[in-house]
Chain A
């Protein structure tokens, strides 16, 4: 268990955290025909939208209740109603997910109550699913906002009592740390055992970066509402990421037994998941999964030369930090500097490091320098620190706004782990330092021997 360290200081330097409403918005975007709606002032939405657009390189239908001076003081109920009305007219969504920002929450509005009242007095809103998650920016980060949104969806849309269970139907709750490609990879593993997953939320069909035939003002993919309602009839729930445990528990309360997997990066972590799928399906894995495992074990052999003993500085939200961190330490890497965003998630303490700072990228940079880290693993804002420390940066998490294909990164399952190990090993190889006499304290060669005296030493 890592010791959690809360630096005592007022100033946060280079934040690691992304806001909770943005996490909620991302989750909502994994529902079919969705428009996420921030309840707050318009600036929050604009910033979040830019963030999402730059990460996913997609048009993001994100809206705001655009609270103004008056509603900031008197309450924003009317604002919500007007926003829903306008959205309905313009974008024709089937689903609106409201995420309340710090402004609305600070006022202490009873948004749930307001929403109930609105839905009752507006018959024209019938047929539209509207859910609300309280996601004030001052509480948690992206991971929490995402989890709150999923909980809100389950609470509002999954019936308390399911009908008969559907054989082979499995709920899959992916954590916010999983990319669209990772959601798809895990869903593919589930399907490979003959099981049918209902994925909530399913960003693998909405934020995967696909060119749609038509323009749409809503999400262009994601979990269909009917599927969400059917979740009560599944035989089991598989959640990935500790942040998803409360959501899994909500389904358990509806009679669907749940299992939570801390992370799916690494041989043993994936083995545990495959074991669960074998139990659920009563089948041996198909040949391709066995093959993928054999390939991963071979990749472990090839990459352990670079990863064994590698000193890694890692900063990410708890589930991602735990997943990637434990994948690396299983290969003999050392997490010599670890920073995460909050301590409530049990995975924060399980990050395989002696000490985990609840802090920011400033903490990461200082700790990495002090510990002599050799590689930095965090989101794209780590680039300046990595540059200052002359460390290779492997980008993971959100945002990654300076590279393409963030949605395609897959570091889970046998295949994803294999790619991840090669990615890390290649980052190390790309740094490969050509030895110099100075490295060993040896004097330079006599000038007399040089064909062209004073040849400048070759670049490293």
Chain B
């Protein structure tokens, strides 16, 4: 493994702000947090996948994958990050390395030509060049190629060295953060930095979730300066070092980046979520308090409280008619550890019974909150095998499953409604309006007459 890559990975793992890491001794910390994968029982994306997820939402950049076709061919145009402007990020660019390229050692040359072509054709704000397993293995020096190309074509060309074999998607997220910190952040200055400029880190604007929250920020006069990387422009990422506060959505993937921004540029961060009513309010509150602490107008806090009071009242009033339609229904929540406790609390408030929630990637903090809300630990579980889940659903111990796409068919084949709440979902569920959307979706799904039909026996079974 190239030295540079080794450093990059170590840096990604060495995370003092990570709670899991803090609990380890020095030696095991250095080993990193990637668990050895079990051949034949591994599921989940590679580091390249993670880095691509993290960076691709930078919408005005060209994302060029330097690899044989497999990596990009299987990965492009399948995510729901939405753009309010350029669509370049959705185009799949790859050097499509062939056997001949590899044998003849033509990789670097081909990459340089590809960079030239993409810049000539698309005039992108920047080019992100991803090296994956094969290109890392044959030792293509993409750092050098990117540097040369950037100088030659006067366009930022950023090397992202993320061969899948080094680890999981999560590691890829972190490595992407490192890349941005090293190559992009701090390279441009905003025209008029404001006291209410913030960074949003680790949100990808899936199905437009960022825009469900943005009107609230708009009304408070808060500007998203740096976005990493939902609906982001390259220039925004480059200016992220001038934000006053960072909100971190997913500590697992990006806490290293948030911490570095704090250490280097003095930008304080907090971890928050826009899922659920109380979490949305808390996040707004925290943003405003932290901005005020750093010199934003003091009236920001009372304005924020007024906004929260108004929005919460309106949201509950909108949700009220749904109460009789979903009250008493039992929901099983199985997510990758997105901040769901606030969603749980809103659903319980509406009379739903949460019969279980997964805590796969939850922090001790999250666990504490769930215990607080549910009153017991009994309904928390870490992992549930599909067969076990199928049994639970088929025995009708839950009326609906909320999960990621992977357990979709476990629910459906058990003839139980399923709500997609993970990355690939098509409906946005963030902020107050997102909670309303989620409840509408739940109602529509649970109360669909099709379930009764599907559970009824066939004519020859009666």
CB contacts (< 8 Å) of A441 on chain B: these are 215
Is there a chain A Cβ closer than 8 Å to B82's Cβ? yes
> Which of B84, B440, B456, B459 is most buried by chain A, counting CB atoms within 10 A of its CB?
B459
Docked-complex contact A331 and B450, CB < 8 angstroms: yes
Asked if B450 and A434 sit within 8 Å, CB to CB, the answer is: no
Q: Does B338 contact A (CB under 8 A)?
A: no
Given contacts A268-B453, A448-B191, contact A439 B444 (CB under 8 A): no
The verdict on A19 contacting chain B, using a C-beta distance below 8 Å, is no
Whether A445 and B450, one on each chain, are in contact in the complex, defined by CB atoms closer than 8 angstroms, is no
B80-94 Cβ-contact flags toward A at 8 Å (1 or 0): 001111110000000
CB under 8 Å from chain B, chain A span 362-395: none
Partner of B85, one of A330, A442, A455: A455
Q: Check A3 for interface membership: any CB of B closer than 8 A.
A: no
Q: Does B454 contact A (CB under 8 A)?
A: yes
Q: Does B190 contact A (CB under 8 A)?
A: yes
Asked whether A435 lies within 8 Å of B458 as measured between CB atoms, the reply is no
CB distance from A300 to the nearest CB of B (A): 5
Q: For the complex, is A278 an interface residue (Cβ under 8 Å from B)?
A: yes
User: Is the C-beta of A51 less than 8 angstroms from some C-beta in chain B?
Assistant: no
Rounded to whole Å, the gap between the CB of B139 and the closest CB of chain A is 33
Known: A267-B453, A271-B459. A443 touches B218 (CB 8 A): yes
A436 on the B face (CB < 8 A): yes
Given A274-B459, A437-B211, A440-B212: A301 and B412 within 8 A (CB)? yes
Q: Nearest Cβ in chain A — how far from B42, in angstroms?
A: 27
| A330-B450, A451-B86 as given contacts; A435 in contact with B207, CB under 8 Å | yes
A435 B235 Cβ-Cβ under 8 A = no
Range of interface residues on B (Cβ < 8 Å): 35 or more
CA distance A293 to B190 in the complex (A): 62
A238 to B458, CA, bound (A): 21
Which B residues between 234 and 248 are near A, CB-CB below 8 angstroms? 234-236, 239
Q: Say which residue of A293, A439, A445, A458 sits within 8 Å of B233 (CB atoms).
A: A445
B421 → chain A closest CB, angstroms: 14
Contact flag A457-B84 (CB < 8 Å), given A274-B459, A435-B207: yes
A304, CB-defined interface residue at 8 Å: yes
Report whether B86 and A330 are in contact in the complex, using a CB–CB cutoff of 8 Å: no
Is B124's CB within 8 Å of the partner chain A? yes
Q: How far is the CA of A265 from the CA of B230 in the complex (A)?
A: 44
A435:B211 contact, CB within 8 angstroms: yes
- Closest residue of chain A to B462 (Cβ to Cβ) is A275
- B444 contacts A443, CB within 8 Å? no
Determine if B450 and A278 form an interchain contact, defined as CB atoms under 8 angstroms apart. no
- Give the residues in chain A near B123, CB-CB below 8 Å: 452
Instruction: State the majority secondary structure of interface residues on A.
Output: loop
Listed residue (A293, A435, A436, A442) with the most chain B CB atoms within 10 angstroms of its CB? A435
> Which residues of the partner chain A approach B85 to less than 8 Å between Cβ atoms?
445, 450, 455, 457-458
User: Digit string of A260-273 for contact with B (CB within 8 Å is 1, else 0)?
Assistant: 00000001100100
In angstroms, Cα B458 to Cα A275, docked, is 9
Q: Is B433 an interface residue (CB 8 A)?
A: yes
Known: A285-B460, A451-B234, A451-B235. A332 touches B444 (CB 8 A): yes
**B234 in contact with A445 (CB, 8 Å):** no
- Chain A's closest residue to B126 (CB) is A451
Chain B residues, CB < 8 A from A278: 459-460
Taken together as a complex, chains A and B put the C-alpha atoms of A329 and B212 apart, in Å, by 31
B125 in the interface (beta carbon within 8 A): yes
Are A271 and B458 in contact (CB-based, < 8 A)?
A: yes
Considering the chains assembled together, what is the distance between the CA atoms of A165 and B413 in angstroms? 46
A440–B448 CB distance below 8 A: no
The answer to whether the Cβ of A58 comes within 8 Å of any Cβ in the partner chain is no
Residues of B within 8 A of A452 (CB): 60, 86, 123
B428 in the interface (beta carbon within 8 A): yes
Given that A455-B86, A458-B83 are contacting pairs, would A435 and B459 also be in contact in the complex, using a CB cutoff of 8 Å? Answer: no
Closest CB of chain B to A309's CB: distance in Å?
4
A196 to B415, CA, bound (A): 36
Any A CB within 8 A of the CB of B314: no
Instruction: Please judge, given known A-B contacts A278-B459, A445-B85, A451-B124, whether A308 and B450 are in contact too, CB under 8 Å.
Output: yes
Decide if A450 touches B460 in the complex (CB within 8 Å). no
What is the distance, in angstroms, from A345's C-beta to the closest C-beta of chain B?
A: 24
B352 to nearest A CB, angstroms? 18
Q: Which of A332, A440, A444 has the most CB of B within 10 A?
A: A440
A297 interfacial contact with B, CB 8 Å? yes
A446 & B223 in contact (Cβ 8 Å cutoff): yes
Taking CB atoms, residues of chain A closer than 8 Å to B211 are 435-437, 439-440, 442
Chain B residues with Cβ below 8 Å from A434 are 82
Contacts of A290 in B (CB 8 A): 458, 460
CB pair B454–A301 under 8 Å, yes or no, is yes
Binary interface encoding of chain A residues 65-102 relative to chain B, with 1 for a CB under 8 A from any of its CBs, else 0 = 00000000000000000000000000000000000000
Q: Which residues from B are CB-within-8-Å of A435?
A: 82, 207-208, 211, 428
Residue of A nearest to B217 (CB): A442
Instruction: Name the distance in Å between B460's Cβ and chain A's nearest Cβ.
Output: 5
A458 nearest in chain B by CB position: B87
Q: Do A437 and B84 touch across chains, with their CB atoms under 8 A apart? A: yes
Tell whether, in the assembled complex, residue B84 and residue A445 are in contact, meaning their CB atoms are under 8 Å apart: yes
Q: How many angstroms from the CA of A451 to the CA of B232 in the assembled complex?
A: 11
Does B208 contact A300, Cβ atoms closer than 8 Å?
Answer: no
Cα A142 to Cα B399 in complex, Å, equals 45
A284 at the interface (CB under 8 A from B): yes
Q: How far is the CA of A308 from the CA of B440 in the complex (A)?
A: 11
**Residue B21 CB within 8 A of the other chain:** no
Q: Across the interface, which residues of B come within 8 angstroms of A437, CB to CB? A: 84, 208, 211, 214, 231
Measured between beta carbons, the chain A residues less than 8 angstroms from B460 are 274, 278, 284-285, 290
Which residues in window 26-45 of B have CB below 8 A to A?
Answer: none
Give the distance to chain B from A298, nearest Cβ to Cβ, in Å: 8
Which of chain A's residues have a CB closer than 8 A to the CB of B208?
A: 435-437, 439-440
Q: Which residues of A contact B239 (CB under 8 A)?
A: 449
B449 within 8 A of A: yes
Interface residues of B in 260-296 (CB under 8 A from A): none
Report the separation of the CA atoms of residues A434 and B426 in the bound assembly, to the nearest whole angstrom. 10
The yes or no answer to B445 lying at the interface (CB within 8 A) is yes
Given the contacts A332-B444, A437-B214, A443-B218, A300 and B82 also touching, CB distance less than 8 Å: no
Chain B, residue nearest A441 (CB): B215
Question: Which of these, B84, B426, B440, B444, contacts A436 with CB under 8 Å?
Answer: B84
Q: A303-346 toward B: CB 8 Å interface, digit per residue (1/0)?
A: 01000110000000000000000000111100000000000000
CB of A93 to closest CB in B, whole Å: 42
Task: State how many angstroms separate the Cβ of A325 from the closest Cβ of chain B.
Answer: 13
With a cutoff of 8 Å between Cβ atoms, the chain B residues found around residue A458 in the complex are 83, 85-87
> What string of 1s and 0s marks CB contacts (under 8 Å) between A419-451 and chain B?
000000000000010111101111111101111
Given A304-B445, A440-B433, A451-B86, 13 other A-B contacts at CB below 8 A?
A: A278-B460, A297-B454, A304-B450, A308-B448, A308-B450, A436-B211, A437-B208, A441-B215, A442-B210, A442-B211, A442-B212, A449-B235, A449-B236
B residues adjacent to A (C-beta < 8 A): 60, 82-87, 123-125, 190-191, 207-208, 210-212, 214-215, 218, 223, 231, 233-236, 239, 412-413, 415, 426, 428, 433, 440, 444-445, 447-450, 453-454, 456, 458-460
Interface residues of A (CB under 8 A from B): 267-268, 271, 274-275, 278, 284-285, 290, 293, 297, 300-301, 304, 308-309, 329-332, 432, 434-437, 439-446, 448-452, 455, 457-458
21 CB contacts below 8 A, A to B, read A268-B453, A274-B459, A284-B460, A304-B445, A308-B448, A308-B450, A309-B440, A330-B450, A330-B453, A332-B450, A437-B84, A437-B208, A437-B214, A442-B212, A443-B215, A445-B84, A446-B223, A450-B85, A451-B86, A452-B86, A458-B86
6 smallest beta-carbon distances between A and B, as pairs:
A435-B208, A451-B125, A332-B448, A442-B214, A309-B444, A442-B211
